[in-house]
Chains A and B, each alone.
Chain A
Amino acid sequence: MPNSKPKLQLDLQDLAPNEGALVLLRRALGQLAAGECLELHGDSAGLSEQLAAWCRKEGHRCETIQGLAGTYRIEAGGRVASVATSRFDVSETADPAWGLAPRGGRLETGGPQFGFTLRQKRDVWAHELNTIYKQAAAGQWSATRDIPWERLPRLAPEVEGAVAQIMTFLTENEFAALYVPARFIARIHPHYREVVEVLAMQVVDEARHAEAFTRRAEAGGAGLGTTAVSGQLSLQTLIEEPDFTTAVFLLCVMGEGTFLTLLKFLGEHAPDPVTSALALLAHRDEARHVAFGTEHLRYVFEREPDRRTSLASAVERRSRMLASISGLSPYVNDALVIYAGGGIGIGQVREGARLVAGLHGEMDRARRERLQSLGFDSAAATEMSAYHTKNFM
C-alpha cells in the first residue's frame, strides 16, 4: 500500500466484531473517499480473525502493520455512490423502483421494481388528505368505552327484530365499504402514502362498525336477520369495480353519501340509547369517508372535467346490471318501517311508512346536492341519483 498518511484513525480497543466493532469501522470508512486510508487499532481476537475477509467483501484493502500487533491500515474502497432520493415533493409519477422507501428519503439504486399499478398522482390524489387523516386518527371511538350497552332496554320483540335486521343490513354494507378500499390499498404506490393512510383508516372504521353493529343485533336477543340477494348483487358490483376513481365515486360519494342520510334517520328514530349512539358515531366516520371521496373526485375533475361523463355512465351501467333488483330488500324495508313507526300497530305502521318514504326522498335530495357540488349539472344529478342502486350502497 502506498505511504499515504492515514486520513483518519480509529481505536476500537477490545471491541469485537459481534460487539459492534464493524458499526464504528463502517462509520469511519464512510467518511473516506476511495484511496484514502484509515489507521485502525483493535485488540480483540475476533477482529484479527475476521477483518481481512470483511474488507475483501466490502471492497477495502487491508494490511497489518509490521511489528505492531492490533494495528491495521485500511485503504477505503470508496462509498457506494449510487443513492437516489425517492423525492420529497409528491411526484406526478411514482417510479416502481422507489418501492417502499419513504418519500423524501435516500434510496440505493439497483433495487427491485415493485408492481404497484396505481402510480400516477392524478389517479389517486385528493386535497385535504392530512386533515382527513388527523380527524380519523382522533375519531377512533371504542365500542366498549363509548356505547352505553348497560342502558339497552328490553324492546318489544317486533321492534327489536327490526333493529336486528337493520343492523344486519348495515353490517353487509360496511363489509363492502371495507373491502373496496382494501383492494386498492395493495395497488397504490407508497409514494402516495397519505392516500394509503386515509384508506387504511377507512378499513379500520368499517371493521369497527361491522363489529359494533353485529354486537347490537345479538345484544337484544333477536339475533342476526336475513341478507337478501338484491343486497348481495348490488355490493358485488361495488367490490368488483376495477377502476379506483369509479369505485371511490360509487362507494364513497354515492353509497356512503346515501348512508349518511340513513344513519341520520336511524339516529333520529332510534328506540334505544345504544342504537342511537351507534348511529351517531358511525355517521361521523362515514362523513369522513364521503369527504375523502368528494375531495378525490374534485381533484380528478380539476384535471379532467370530462371524467364526469364517464362516471355518469358508470352509474347507469351499474343500474342496468342491477335491473333485476326492483327495490330495497323487503326485509330491510319492512324493518325500517317498523323501526321508524315504533311498532306494528296500524297507526305506527302508517307513520313508519310515511317516514320511510320521506327518507327515500331525502336520500335523493342529498345525493343530487352532493353531485351538483361536484360540478354535475342539475339534469345529470337528477338522472344519476335516480339510477343509484336501490340497495342504498
Chain B
Amino acid sequence: MTDELDYYTILGVPRNATEEDIRRAYRESALRLHPDKNEGPEATELFLQVNRAYELLSDQGQREKYDLELIEHEAKMIAKASFGAKVIQSRAKLLQLDEPQVHYLLVDIEPSQDLPEIRPPINLSIVIDRSTSMRGERLDHLRSATLNIMQGLNDGDSTSIVAFSDRAELIVSPDQAKDMAVARARLSQLQAGGGTEIAQGLRMGLGEIQRNFSREGINHLILLTDGRTYGDEDDCIQMADVSADQGIIIHGVGIGSDWSDRLLDDLASRTGGGVAFLDTPAAIEAVMEDIYEKLGRTAASRMRLEGSVAQQVDLRSAFRLLPEPMPMGDSLPMSLGNLPRDGIVRVLLEMVIHPIGKISELTLAHFTIDGDILGKGDESIPLPLEVRIPVSDEPDTEPPSEEITAALSQISLYRMQEKARHEAELGQSAQAARRLENLATQLLASGERELAKSALNEADRLAHSRRLSSEGEKVLKYGTRALMIPAKTGEGET
C-alpha cells in the first residue's frame, strides 16, 4: 500500500455517502475493531485509521478538502501504477428510470510495465485426501503427479505434501522434498484409510505455507479430494478467509462424482483460486502439471479488486473469466488470484442500479486494483479506477460490445445449470427439467453436443427419479464453466 490512505474504503462507504451513512459505518467498524475486543496490533492500527477517517469525513470542510487531495493523489497513482485496466460497459449510457436497471462491467487487468524475466519462487502445499475411497488407482496417480512436480523444483521453492483422513499427517516436508530419494520413500508410505475431514488437511497445509511464506513469490495450496467432509465446512471457510487476507490461494481438485463441489468452489472463490473436476484418475498428472506450470508463468500474485460501489448501485454478482473461469463472491474486496505473464485477469461485474433521479452522470464505483508484481523487489503501486457513465432519458440504441455479449452468453449457460440444480433440490423437478432442456437447446446451438446430451439425460433423470445424478451435476457445472476457456472454443465437434 501507499502512504496516502483512502478513507472511504477504510470505512467501507461510497464516495457519495451521506453524513448519516458515514456515521453508521463508523459506529459499526469501531464496535468491531475496538481494542477492548481485539488484541492484535493490526486491529488496533485499523481502529485508529477508522477513527481518523471518521474525524475527517464527518467534517464537511475537511471532507471537501480531502476529496480534492484524493483526486489529485489518484491521478498521480494512475500515472505510476503497476497495473493497467480496461473497462467495457454494457451500455454507453444509463436510462433515467424510476425502476431498477441492470448494468455490466467487463474489467480487463494487465501489468502496465515491463516484467522481469523470472520464474517466481513457488511456495506450494499439496493436500491429499487419503480416505479409503482413494485407494488404488487414485492414490497411485497422485503419487506420480506429486513426484513429477517435485522433480521440477527450483532453488527458492518450497513444497510440502500433507495427507489427511480424519487427521492430517505431513508426508513430505519442504526439506524432504528437496531430496528426491527421500521424497519417493516418504510418498510410498502414503496409504489409504479413514474418513474425510478436509479442515484437518487444510489447517496443516496452510501452516506449512505460512511458515515458508514468500512475499516475492506465489503461495499456493492444492487440495485434492474425492469425498465429502461433514461438520467442518465452516471451519474450512474461515481458514479460506484468513488465507485470502494473507494472499494464499486455494485450488481445488475433485476426483469422481462424490466430492463436495460447493465447498471447494467456495474455498477457491474466496481465495482467488480455481477448481478442476476429474472424471477419471488418469487425468490427475496432467491437471496437476497444468496447475503447476501456470504458477511458474505468473507475473503478479495476490491480485485484488478493492473499493466500493456508489450508493445507488448493488453488486449482484461477479465472475472471473480469465485466466481461469470462476464465480466470485458479490462483495469487495475480491481476491482475483494470479495475473499470468502472457495474459490478463478478466472479471465481469453485474450491477443493479436503483432508480436514479435527474442526473446527467453517475459514478458507478471507485475501485482499486492491487497486487504484487513478482521479482521487482520494490512494492507494487495499486491502480485507482473510477467508473462513470452518462445518464440520459433516451435509451442507448448501440448494441453492447461483442466481448461483453460473448462473456454473458457463456455465463448465462452456467447460471441456467445452477438454477436447474437449485430447483431440483427444492423438489421442483418439472421446472428443473424444462430448464435443462432449455440449456440443452442453447448448448446445441453453440455446437456443444456432448454437454447438450448430458443436460437432456439429466432432464430425463429428473422426470423418472426427481433427482439429478451427482456426476451429472458436476459434468454440467464444470462443463459450462470450461466453455469460457478461450482455447476450448472451436474445439467442439463439428
Same complex:
no
